[in-house]
């Protein structure tokens, strides 16, 4: 083989080997880059029952997997917390008639889905009324009437005279109590029980007044006071 041809063949072979090696090197570099750029973990947010969400993080090969589930509440305030809130809101508030009486927190049993009506209030609070020295009694034999909660809230209740500082303070307390009842109870109604009158129309000397509703657990809770009508 002529020397010139041998030299040319060797140069071609060398050039081909160099080019192939460069391509292989580029492929290896590119693969390494792809692996480096790939995310080591992925995050998935799952929604469970009731809309609660949880985050699930999974790592790559050889890594650990961490699962975090978040659940939401939604049960509302406890009965004890609601009773405490009503007591605080009603502190110092007086119901004014021919005498002044405070508002007291009253609690019955868990009535579940039972209606908040006259029969339920009689059954739950008979012992409360029958122990009150100035109240007409026994509750089982008293006349009763009820009013919608919105009617009660529409009455003046100490808010008629903006120039009387005592009345202004009492007005603010009444609004605070009404707000606490609205915030914590459902199916709120107002009931009156007295010894004089007729079914649906109460008069009397010591009339028991109940503002009651249901807590989220179904318990009958509210406040009570006394009106002296002669």
pLDDT level of residue 43 (50, 70, 90 thresholds): very low
More confident residue, 53 or 122: 122
What is the C-alpha separation between 201 and 224, in angstroms, rounded? 19
What b/e sequence results for 75-89 when a residue is b if at least 16 CB atoms lie within 10 Å of its CB, and e otherwise?
Answer: eeeebeebbebbeeb
* DSSP state letters, 100-128: EEE-EEEEEEE-TT---SHHHHHHHHHHH
Q: Please report the pLDDT score of residue 96 as a whole number.
A: 93
Q: Tokens 């605080």, residue? A: 88
Domain ranges of the chain: 41-73, 79-228
Answer whether 102's CB lies under 8 Å from 90's CB: yes
Q: Please report the pLDDT score of residue 114 as a whole number.
A: 80
Whole-model pTM: value is 0.67
Task: Count the residues in the chain.
Answer: 230
Indicate whether 26 pLDDT > 90: no
Mean pLDDT, the chain, as a whole number? Answer: 76
Instruction: Provide φ and ψ at 84, rounded to 5°.
Output: -65, -40
What is the crossing angle of helices 165-184 and 79-90, to 10°?
A: 170
Q: Please report the pLDDT score of residue 13 as a whole number.
A: 39
Indicate whether 180 pLDDT > 70: yes
Q: Which superfamily, per CATH, for 79-228?
A: Nuclease A inhibitor-like (3.40.1460.10)
Q: Which tens digit of pLDDT belongs to each residue from 65-78?
A: 333 332 222 346 89
């Amino acid at each position: 083989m002529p020397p010139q041809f041998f030299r040319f063949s060797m140069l071609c072979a060398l050039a081909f080997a160099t080019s192939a090696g460069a391509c292989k090197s580029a492929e290896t570099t590119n693969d390494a880059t792809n692996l480096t750029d790939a995310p080591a973990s992925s995050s998935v947010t799952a929604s469970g029952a009731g809309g609660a969400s949880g985050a699930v993080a999974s790592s790559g090969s050889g890594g650990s997997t961490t699962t975090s589930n978040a659940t939401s509440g939604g049960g509302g305030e406890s009965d004890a917390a609601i009773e405490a809130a009503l007591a605080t809101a009603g502190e110092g508030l007086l119901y004014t008639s021919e005498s002044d009486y405070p508002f007291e927190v009253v609690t019955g049993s868990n009535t579940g889905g039972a209606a908040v009506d006259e029969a339920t209030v009689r059954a739950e609070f008979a012992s409360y009324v029958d122990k009150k020295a100035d109240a007409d009694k026994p509750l089982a034999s008293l006349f009763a009437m009820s009013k919608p909660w919105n009617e009660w809230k529409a009455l003046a209740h100490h808010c008629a005279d903006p120039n009387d500082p005592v009345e202004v303070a009492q007005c603010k307390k009444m609004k605070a109590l009404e707000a606490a009842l609205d915030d914590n109870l459902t199916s709120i109604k107002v009931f009156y029980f007295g010894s004089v009158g007729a079914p649906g129309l109460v008069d009397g000397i010591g009339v028991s007044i109940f503002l009651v509703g249901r807590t989220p657990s179904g318990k009958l809770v509210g406040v009570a006071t006394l009106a002296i009508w002669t």
